[in-house]
Amino acid sequence: MTDTPAVRPHVSFEVETTVPTTHGTFRMRAYRDLDTGADHIAIVSGRPVDGALVRVHSECLTGEAFGSLKCECGPQLDAALDTIHNHGGVVIYLRGHEGRGIGLINKLRAYKLQEEGLDTLDANLALGLPADAREYTAAADILRDLGIESVRLLTNNPDKRDQLTAHGIDVAEMVPLVVGVGAFNEAYLDTKRDRMGHQLPGELDTGFDAVG
Ligand SMILES: Nc1nc2c(ncn2[C@@H]2O[C@H](COP(=O)(O)OP(=O)(O)OP(=O)(O)O)[C@@H](O)[C@H]2O)c(=O)[nH]1
Ligand SMILES: [Zn+2]
């Protein structure tokens, strides 16, 4: 990890500062994505080491800022920040990943198609867009900038593990992150498990049933 600007093929380190949050105090390191122009943040607790607990988190405005119950991104981010504050590690927050990489407006277009009966995967395809357009070169470069080559990855998504592995990061373990399951996202999570390969329990525990 460096305090001086370091340019890697896909990201440049820009600045590091300390930010207190409701989850604890973290060091936040900002990176510019040299391929897309997006600004990513590495949220660090403790000293980054090989084998660190890492969450590579895709931006989700509706779930994280507005409390949408259609997905579980907000509770996952909260749980990841709590866990990483308690045990040390890194949350890499990836901008430009909104809607699995199709963008905010297309995600809402996909939601509209889901209102008409399509599931989360078919809605993307009906828009002529990939089921999942995200890629993880920037995340791998950010990990290397932090001096991390091997991670315990907080995720249920094997594609995330496989893509990071393809970019040279050793994913020693996938650590499940099943939180925020509720009545409004049960079908969405079923689709992620049954059609997109996510490692989710067969019987999802709808711990907090949504109202309204
Ligand atoms: N296109 C589309 N994107 C969605 C939908 N619901 C959530 N998202 C986006 O999906 C991304 C999160 O991906 P997920 O598949 O929920 O989870 P993941 O990050 O791949 O896997 P985990 O690491 O296990 O959380 C965020 O960018 C969300 O904005 C949807 O119905 N359609
Ligand atoms: Zn979401």
Q: What integer pLDDT is reported at residue 6 of this predicted model?
A: 55
Question: Is 134 part of the annotated catalytic residue set?
Answer: yes
The reply to whether 71 falls in a domain is yes
211 within some domain: no
Longest CA span, the chain: 51
The answer to whether residue 115 is domain-embedded is: no
Q: Is residue 172 part of a domain?
A: yes
- Structural domain total, the chain: 1
Residue 129 in domain: no
Q: Is residue 37, in this structure, part of any structural domain at all?
A: yes
Nearest residue by C-alpha to atom 2 in ligand 1: 99
Q: Which residues contact 201 (CB under 8 A, 6 or more apart)?
A: 178
pLDDT recorded at residue 208: 44
Catalytic residue, chosen from 29, 109, 134, 161, is 134
pTM (2 d.p.): 0.93
Catalytic residue, candidates 29, 33, 109, 132: 132
| Sequential pLDDT tens for the chain (212 residues) | 555 555 579 999 999 999 999 999 999 999 999 999 999 999 999 999 999 999 999 999 999 999 999 999 999 999 999 999 999 999 999 999 999 999 999 999 999 999 999 999 999 999 999 999 999 999 999 999 999 999 999 999 999 999 999 999 999 999 999 999 999 999 888 898 999 988 888 877 665 443 32
CA 209 to chain centre: 24
Predicted pLDDT at 211: 34
Residue 208 within any structural domain of the chain: no
The letter for the amino acid at 75 is: P
Q: Could you tell me how many residues make up the chain? A: 212
Domain with 141 in it: what CATH number?
3.40.50.10990
How does DSSP assign 107-140, residue by residue?
HHHHHHHHHTT--HHHHHHHTT--S-----HHHH
Q: Which residues have a beta carbon within 5 Å of ligand 2, which is an ion?
A: 60, 63, 71, 73
Among 105, 114, 57, 115, residue whose Cα is nearest residue 81:
57
Ligand 1 mutation pick, 91, 107, 119, max ligand atoms within 8 A of CB: 107
ipTM for the complex?
A: 0.97
* Structure tokens, 32: 């510019």
Which structural domain, as residue segments, surrounds residue 62? 11-97+134-196
Specify if 128 maps to a domain: no
Binding residues for Zn(2+): 60, 71, 73
